[in-house]
Each structure stands twice: as C-alpha cells, then as structure tokens.
Amino acid sequence: MGRKEKVSIEEKLRAIKSYLSGEKSAAQICSDFNIHNQSFRNWIRKYNMNGENGLVVTHKNKIYSEEIKYMAIHDYLDGNGSLENICTKYEIPSIYSLQYK
C-alpha cells in the first residue's frame, strides 16, 4: 500500500499562502488541518525549495549517495545549521531523515 495524502495539494497551497501573507498563523493552520507544527514547517520548506512540485507526495523513497549522507551528517554535527537548514541545503524532504532515534 502506497503513501496516502491526508491533505490535498490545493489545500496545502491555500494554507501556505494564507500563512505567508499573514492571514493565518502556523498554529491556526495546524489546528485547522489537525497536523503537527513540524509537518506544516515541512510543507513550507518543500514549497520554498520546489514550489508546488515540492508538495506532491511521492510513492517511493529518494536514494541519497553516501557522500551526501556524510556531508549532511557532518554539517549537523559540526553545528553548521539546524536540521531544517541542512535538509534544505541537501534537498532532504524531512528532518526525520537526519534525526537520531
């Protein structure tokens, strides 16, 4: 069974635009869609990286080279940015990919 979108791209776009215009706060949008703050922050980051195409749900995982993984981990451990900054830099869609569990 593949990934299922809980919120349509159109709804995500409306939410992002209302947030960016100052019409609604992140907390209001998270409450409206019953999502976590980090999920909404991921929408914003993906939208800023790739526009509408960044919001499309993929049906398979992206494969990262050993070099990219190494660089991203070392950037984080060396304090060269937050998880969000490093994920944006290396085009990693979710901070959960770099978080230690």
pLDDT digits (tens, 9 = 90+) for 9-50: 999 999 999 999 999 999 999 999 999 998 899 899 889 888
49 and 16 part of one domain: yes
pLDDT at 89 over 70: yes
- Residue 1 belongs to a domain: no
- For the chain, what is the domain count? 2
78 and 51 part of one domain: no
Q: Tell me the residue range of the domain where 42 lies.
A: 9-55
Q: Tokens 């050993």 — which residue?
A: 66
pLDDT tens readout for residues 18-29: 999 999 999 999
14 and 50 part of one domain: yes
Confidence label for 59 from pLDDT (cuts 50, 70 and 90): confident
- Residue 73 belongs to a domain: yes
**Is the pTM higher than 0.85?**
no
75 and 42 part of one domain: no
Q: Which residues contact 91 (CB under 8 A, 6 or more apart)?
A: 49
Distance, in Å, from the CA atom of 50 to the CA atom of 76, rounded to the nearest integer, reads: 23
